Chains A and B, each alone.
Chain A
Amino acid sequence: MPQIRLDNLVKRYGAVQVLHGIELDMAENEFTVLVGPSGCGKSTTLRMIAGLETVSDGEIYIDGRPVKDLDPKDRGLAMVFQDYALYPHMDVASNISFALRLQKRPRAEIDAKVREVAELVGLSDFLARKPGALSGGQRQRVAMARALAKDSEIFLFDEPLSNLDAKLRGQMRAELAIMRQRVQKNMIYVTHDQIEAMTLADRIVVMNGGYIQQQGTPEELFKRPANKFVAGFLGSPPMNFLGATLVREDDMLMAQGAAFKVAIPADTAARLPTSQTSVILGVRPSDLNYNSEAPDAEAFDLRVKVSEYVGAQSVLLCECGSTDITVELKSETPIALGETLRFALRPEGIHLFDPKTEMAL
């Protein structure tokens, strides 16, 4: 059973270095999601594992075996591509069985495998069709089936859902999660969509600018982001950031900004270095609750600028001094634009970052 280890992986295109020493350990049967904005090097990392990009420096180990110089076909992995990459001149059955036919497996075995996999992804009725006659979701399933048919120990997914429309993406995401329960294999999944990352991953690796920013379980990353980038990247709507100075009042550490002054919980305050005078205060919209009776030291007074109705919840863009803050509110709450509302801050929802290094404090 394979573990995958990336050892100081470096990728250069000429003088441009796009990956700066990626160190990553993936345990057996782990679902690892590489997530980050466009151009952060996540796809490059995946393609290097697949063997489609050369490794400039460092090594990739699969099961303790260095594979840097092996051809893709000798690495024993299957891959689902962002654009599906179905062979248009072959029907669905031939697409699924392509790898098996290359291995010259017996005819009966191939047929049985194709039927089994088609059943799994719900394509049994479409085996004779060409990819051109399938819808986007069905093509996605064929791509999935083609990877499954190979019996590989490692599955690579390169943004497999990014070409689907929003509704189908949600549906396929759920199907993927179900498939994940049945197929216990190593999976590495690249996406820029943090919702996909959060819902599917055993472990998330957040990347930016060719560096790993943080890795851990979705919960760890969501609750204890290591830096401002990770905090802002995960979660929807994204975290609000406010500049603040630290002031001490009656043994209480307060974060004071242009239009607010909130208390920092004692245990967080204890961790802060005494030399720290200014911080970036990070607050997720979900940690702000509408509460007109909240005490001053645990609340923000926000003036509503825009209200976006999204169903049960409305997303409000509010003004707090000169900065904008996003909050969520139940849609039935009667509010008017321009009104100033008081939102209570959950004490555990306070994240502090160093303004210079942007690291969590």
Chain B
Amino acid sequence: MPHDWPGRFRKRAETLSYDRQNPAFYALLVALIFMAVGPIFLMFINSFKLDVDIIGGTTGLLFLPTIQNYETALCDVLWYEPEHLDFCSLKFGGAFINSLIIALISTLLTLVIGCMAAYALVRFRFMGRDTVSLTTLMVRMVPPAVLLVPVFGLWNNEFCLDRDGLIGGAIRDTFGGRGDVCLAGTHSGIILIYVAMNLPFVIWILQSFIVQVPRSLEEAARVDGAGPFQVFFKIVLPLIKPGLAAAAIFTFRIAWNEYLLASALSDRNTKTVPILIVNNMSEFNVEWGVIMATGMLLAIPPIIFTLFASRQIITGMTAGAVKG
């Protein structure tokens, strides 16, 4: 007896209508792509131009490409001395390592604290839970600029170790310098404020992922003999991996690009790449070529990080766990 499969025919009709789209739709797509990729393309082109060429016209495509800008930017890590430089003033390598340390450690700390806080807020019943859950997000609404002045004051004056004290003295003896040992100007000081800044949003994202983990999975693990920490690390954590990856991308990107707080809280040895870029602007000269080249270099790590982290985002992680 022949069977009738209306579903199959409907599917074919859908694939047919796929290539009958309005041309305006494509025009819109092209415009959007141009807006997104255009600036990056311009930056890329101009990073290979001399400042003379850039001043002559940023959009010009006829020029003699040079890697001179990159040589200037990377002068402290190159194995040779570029001919056009008398003195290597830009310390890109150092700033790059500072950026990496600050962004990676603050991301890691945010995720570790964030996932535990989110789990507690979702699964445990305690007094003031809803208030805490709500206020965490409200903290995020405070603009970083508002934090800047009080944090600068605190980091410079309050969170200090006396230079005559045991630990402060030891640090001074090891690393040298004058005055008390303060949070200001250290990696830890910047990491701390980034963690505080990103934590509310990460908690908020992860809460929505943890809610989706079926409670019966945790109960099954408990009956199977898992303690509370084993339940968290062996069952919950693997299941919210997509959420962790999304939160990691978000946190890393913010920490990597952040300028305002870093500019106030870093010193000569701890400044990050965004601060370094701005140092190329002075009252006498704006070195556009070097700014473009450093900008290109700045863009690479987040791209690599995002590609790596987004591989963890697999939708439907909990598929097949429970039915109904």
Contact = CB atoms under 8 A, between A and B. Distances in A.
Interface of A: 50-52, 71-73, 77-79, 81-89, 98-99, 102-103, 130-134, 136, 139, 146, 150, 163
A83 B322 contact: yes
Contacts of B221: 87, 98
Given A73-B225, A78-B224, 12 more contacts: A52-B222, A72-B223, A83-B324, A86-B217, A86-B320, A87-B321, A88-B320, A88-B321, A89-B239, A102-B224, A102-B230, A131-B320
A68 to B, nearest CB: 16
A150 B239 contact: no
B145 to A, nearest CB: 42
Contact of A85 (B216, B225, B226, B239): B216
Given A83-B214, A85-B214, A85-B217, A71 B222 contact: yes
Given A73-B227, A102-B230, A85 B321 contact: yes
B317 A146 contact: no
A81 B220 contact: yes
B33 interface: no
A72 B323 contact: no
Contacts of A89: 238-239, 317
Nearest to B235: A87
Nearest to A47: B219
Counting from the closest, the 9 A-B pairs by CB-CB distance are A132-B320, A83-B322, A131-B320, A99-B224, A85-B220, A85-B216, A88-B321, A73-B225, A132-B319
A130 B318 CA distance: 11
B316 interface: yes
Interface in B100-150: none
Interface of B: 214, 216-217, 219-227, 230, 235, 238-239, 316-324
A158 B318 CA distance: 21
A163 B323 CA distance: 7
Contacts of B217: 85-87
Contacts of B222: 51-52, 71-73
Given A81-B219, A89-B239, A98 B224 contact: yes
Nearest to B224: A99
B129 to A, nearest CB: 17
A265 B138 CA distance: 77
A49 to B, nearest CB: 11
A87 B213 CA distance: 10
B216 A102 contact: no
B219 A86 contact: no
B320 A85 contact: no
A106 B321 CA distance: 27
A163 B224 contact: no
A72 B226 CA distance: 9
25 contacts: A50-B219, A52-B222, A52-B223, A73-B223, A73-B224, A78-B224, A79-B219, A81-B216, A83-B322, A83-B324, A85-B219, A85-B220, A86-B217, A86-B322, A87-B220, A88-B317, A88-B320, A98-B224, A99-B224, A102-B225, A130-B320, A131-B320, A131-B321, A134-B320, A146-B220
Nearest to A98: B224
A51 to B, nearest CB: 8
Nearest to A156: B223
B239 A88 contact: yes
Nearest to B319: A132
B72 to A, nearest CB: 49
A77 B322 contact: no
B64 to A, nearest CB: 55
Contacts of B214: 83, 85
B315 to A, nearest CB: 12
Contacts of A136: 323
A216 B225 CA distance: 33
Contacts of B227: 71, 73
A72 B239 CA distance: 22
A138 to B, nearest CB: 10
Contacts of B321: 84-88, 131
B266 to A, nearest CB: 40
Contacts of B318: 88
B223 A79 contact: yes
Contacts of B225: 73, 99, 102-103
A120 B225 CA distance: 23
B323 A83 contact: yes
Point out which of A71, A84, A88, A133 has the most chain B C-beta atoms below 10 A from its C-beta: A88
B33 to A, nearest CB: 35
B77 to A, nearest CB: 41
B10 to A, nearest CB: 25
Contacts of B216: 81-83, 85
A64 to B, nearest CB: 22
Contacts of A88: 239, 317-321
Contacts of B219: 50, 52, 72, 79, 81, 85
Nearest to B213: A88
Nearest to B220: A85
Central interface residue in B214, B220, B238, by most chain A CB within 10 Å:
B220
B320 A133 contact: yes
Contact of A139 (B223, B230, B323): B323
Given A89-B239, A102-B230, A84 B223 contact: no
A81 B230 CA distance: 20
Nearest to A75: B223
B228 to A, nearest CB: 9
A109 to B, nearest CB: 16
Q: Which of A52, A77, A134, A139 has the most CB of B within 10 A?
A: A52
A163 B321 CA distance: 13
A107 B230 CA distance: 19
